[in-house]
Amino acid sequence: MAGWSCLVTGAGGFLGQKIVRFLLEEKELQEIRALDKFFRPELQEEFSNLKHKIKLTILEGDILDKQCLKKACQGISVVIHTASVIDVVNSIQRETIMNVNLKGTQLLLEACTQANVPIFIYTSSVEVAGPNSYREIVQNGHEEEHRETRWSSAYPYSKKLAEKAVLAADGWTLQDGGTLYTCALRPMYIYGEGSPFLYAQMTEALKNNGILVYNTKLSKANPVYVGNAAWAHILASRALRDPKKAPSIRGQFYYISDNTPHQSYGEFNYTLGKEWGFSLDSSMSLPISLQYWVAFLLELVSFLISPIYKYQPSFTRHLVTLSNSVFTFSYKKAQQDLGYEPLFSWEEAKQKTIQWIGSVVEQHKETLKTKTH
Give yes or no for a cis peptide into 131 (omega within 30° of 0): yes
The boundaries of the domain holding residue 31 are: 4-195+223-261+329-344
- Does residue 272 belong to any structural domain of this protein? no
- Does residue 170 belong to any structural domain of this protein? yes
- Per-residue pLDDT, 187: 98
Are 55 and 26 in contact by the 8 Å Cβ rule? The answer is: no
All residues at 6 or more sequence positions from 229 whose CB lies less than 8 Å from its CB, including other chains: 15, 18, 185, 187, 190, 256
- Does residue 358 belong to any structural domain of this protein? no
Closest CA to 100 of 82, 112, 117: 82
Reduced to 3 states, what is the DSSP secondary structure of residue 188?
coil
- Does residue 367 belong to any structural domain of this protein? no
User: Which residues does the chain have with pLDDT short of 70?
Assistant: 1-2, 51, 214-215, 373
pTM for this structure?
0.95
Whole-number Å distance between alpha carbons of 297 and 153: 16
- Per-residue pLDDT, 373: 63
Annotated active-site positions, please? 155
- Does residue 285 belong to any structural domain of this protein? no
- Per-residue pLDDT, 51: 64
Whole-number Å distance between alpha carbons of 245 and 238: 9
User: For the domain that residue 25 is a member of, what is the CATH number?
Assistant: 3.40.50.720
CA distances to 95, 100, 153, 200 from 92, in Å:
9, 12, 11, 16
Whole-number Å distance between alpha carbons of 293 and 297: 6
Reduced to 3 states, what is the DSSP secondary structure of residue 184?
strand
Are 355 and 349 in contact by the 8 Å Cβ rule? The answer is: no
Closest CA to 47 of 28, 21, 10, 8: 21
- Per-residue pLDDT, 215: 62
Question: Exposed e or buried b for every residue in 298-330, given b needs 16+ CB within 10 A?
Answer: bbeebeeeeeeeeeebebbbbbbbbbbbbbbbe
- Does residue 201 belong to any structural domain of this protein? no
**Total domains in the fold of the chain:** 1
- Per-residue pLDDT, 364: 87
- Does residue 50 belong to any structural domain of this protein? yes
Residue count of the chain? 373
- Does residue 28 belong to any structural domain of this protein? yes
Reduced to 3 states, what is the DSSP secondary structure of residue 238?
helix
Are 70 and 46 in contact by the 8 Å Cβ rule? The answer is: no
Q: Is 269 exposed, middle or buried (0-12, 13-18, 19+ CB in 10 A)?
A: buried
DSSP secondary structure code for residue 174 in this structure: P
Whole-number Å distance between alpha carbons of 109 and 166: 7
pLDDT digits over 301-311, tens only?
999 998 999 88
| Distance linking the first and last C-alpha atoms of the chain | 60
Reduced to 3 states, what is the DSSP secondary structure of residue 202?
helix
Helices within 52-195 (DSSP H only): 66-73, 94-98, 104-114, 154-168
Supply φ then ψ for residue 16, to 5 degrees. -55, -45
